Amino acid sequence: MSGGTKRTAIVTQPTSGHKSQESHTPKNVAAATRTGHLIEARVEEGTTPHRARRNHATKGRGGRPGLRDLHPLAHIARIAALLSESYTPHQVSRRVASQHCVAFMHLSRLSLALFVSPRLRQHSLEVVRRASTTRYANNPQHADHRSPTQTKRASRSTRKMSAQTEAYSAMAKSLNDDIIDSADPSAERANDVLEALEAVARRKQITVAVLSSTNIGKFLTKTVKACKRHRRTAESKEEWEMAISKAEALLASFKEVASAEAMVAKKRKADESKTAGLPKSAAVYRSRLTSQSKEMYKDPPAMPPAAITIEDSMAPAPKRNKTTGELTFVCGDDDGISSALKDFKPNRTPEEVLRAGSFGGTYYRPIASAVTNVRYSSSAVLKDSVRPEWIEGLNKSRMITSSTYDKSVNKFGVKCGGSLGMWESSGWISDSDPYGWFQWYCRFYQGRRCSDDSRQISRWLKSAGPKGRFRSQLCNKILAAGTSAGDTKISPVIRQTLLHWGIGGHGAYG
């Protein structure tokens, strides 16, 4: 070395799948350490460990080395960043290895690198130690938002469950080792183990979760069989019979606990299914649908929209084009639907839909809603949804509130549409309009505006809008048949469906 300068070389062996590592001088080590310091500083400043790692994991400008090309000491910061995200050491090793990082591959030889400087060694190890103990402390976005009381309760519950599980797991092991798998089991030892299990059962009430995690019930069942088998060849059968009696009694008590817990869960589920309002879970929603004997188009069902808010003020009545019959609506307080309203132009009013003959005469029949868990009567719903003059003179029991679908009521004499259960299980029905889209349309026509308007208008556009599937299908069938748009023989089912969506009676739609 010229000038008496001492250079310390650290050589590492090539690793499969990676380039062989070149010799590293103290200058390289210093550069690597600065990189590690920078990552650590960024993490402490609030930058997520992922971003801090990513910013130094690639090649820099001008050919500057990235983190993967530096001395293994630089990877200490990478390990520290991973540990600060609350990964376990095993998860860290897998994550680092999967990203082709050489950190853990070098840990066995890291003492050579750290030997360069005791101060550097101490600082690097401190980085890892501090990151592994603080975990989420430097990451506010990952902080636990539970209150101290909630955290304390959760911790206490976890400790309690852990103690129960450990106690019963230990007893399950004793049953297996001393009775089930023992080559020369002793009746006296079997009774001792079972008495110890009885003591544990008195101190620590067993739960279904503990039964499931420890399989103590299965071990008891095997114990009963093993004791009966050994009783047949034993000279003194009394002690084995005593052990069998204890095991069967314990098994029976565990079954009672499981049965009682299942009954409580079933009752809770039944109570939840009876509570009015939106379902809290898909399981509760499914329970409502099945209890009401409804068809489920989707199983598990899709949850209904969140609770709908209704605007206090009413919007003005729509204007109608005298030539096409198209209706033009305006926004309420919220102008978020203004762009959608440009294409939302039904040409049938709710009154015209009902008087023409629709829904097989069943739309406003009495129903039990799985969405709200409320039973609705026809009279109350009609009063709240339609104006009296809309249905004046109609045979309501046949054309509006019938519980039996009659296709002869429909204008085109055909049956179409799905069941209420199909609509509900598909997640299409909201709590504000439990009967469906046409009920929403009746209220929207009268000036009510709500947070569900955008979704309902979107449904109309996809089904009956200018590019809607039903309108497009009908137009294609008419063109294919080479007939006029008013030929009602062409797909009466689609025409009836469009009528239910407020399209018909003018030109192409009969």
* For the chain, domain boundaries: 2-140, 154-274, 319-453
Give the contacts of 508 (CB within 8 A, at least 6 positions apart): 474, 475, 478, 485, 486
For residues 194 and 254, give the distance between their C-alpha atoms in angstroms, rounded to a whole number: 14
Could you list the beta-strand ranges (E) of 119-167: none
pLDDT tens per residue across span 312-370? 999 999 999 999 999 999 999 988 999 999 999 999 999 999 999 999 999 999 999 99
**Cα 15 from chain centroid?**
42
Ramachandran area for residue 320 (φ above 0: left; ψ -120 to 50: alpha; else beta) = beta
Q: What is the mean pLDDT of residues 270-298?
A: 87
d(CA 93, CA 74): 16
Q: Chain-centre distance of CA 445, in angstroms?
A: 36
Q: How far is CA 69 from CA 66, 80, 141, 384, 414, in A?
A: 5, 18, 31, 73, 74
Closest C-alpha among 446, 134, 427 to residue 289:
427
Compute how many other C-beta atoms are within 10 angstroms of the C-beta atom of residue 127. 21
pLDDT for position 162 = 77
Helices (H), 321-452: 338-341, 350-356, 378-385, 396-399, 420-425, 437-445
How far apart are alpha carbons 359 and 251 in whole angstroms? 58
Number of residues written out for the chain: 510
Measured CA to CA in angstroms, residue 153 lies from 147, 149, 159, 207 at distances of 10, 6, 10, 18
Q: What are phi and psi for residue 230, nearest 5 degrees?
A: -75, -25
**Token duo for residue 96:** 């680092």
* CB count in 10 Å sphere of residue 332: 21
- Mean per-residue pLDDT over the chain, rounded: 78
The predicted pLDDT at position 141 comes to 40
Does the structure show a pLDDT above 80 at 29? no
Q: Write down the pTM of the prediction.
A: 0.55
CA dist list (Å): 100 to 18, 21, 93: 8, 14, 11
> Which of 135-149, 182-196, 333-347, 375-389 is predicted least confidently?
135-149
Task: Give per-residue pLDDT as tens, 99-118.
Answer: 444 444 444 344 434 444 45
Residue 55: predicted pLDDT: 55
Across 334-368, b (16+ Cβ under 10 Å) vs e yields eeebeebbeebbbbbbbbbbbbbbbbbbbbbbebb
CATH of domain 154-274: 1.20.930
CB 451 within 8 A of CB 309: yes
Read off the tokens for 300: 């598990």
- With a cut of 90, say whether residue 392 has pLDDT above it: yes
For residue 39, give both structure tokens: 């990552």
- Can you tell me whether residue 406 is helix, strand or coil? coil
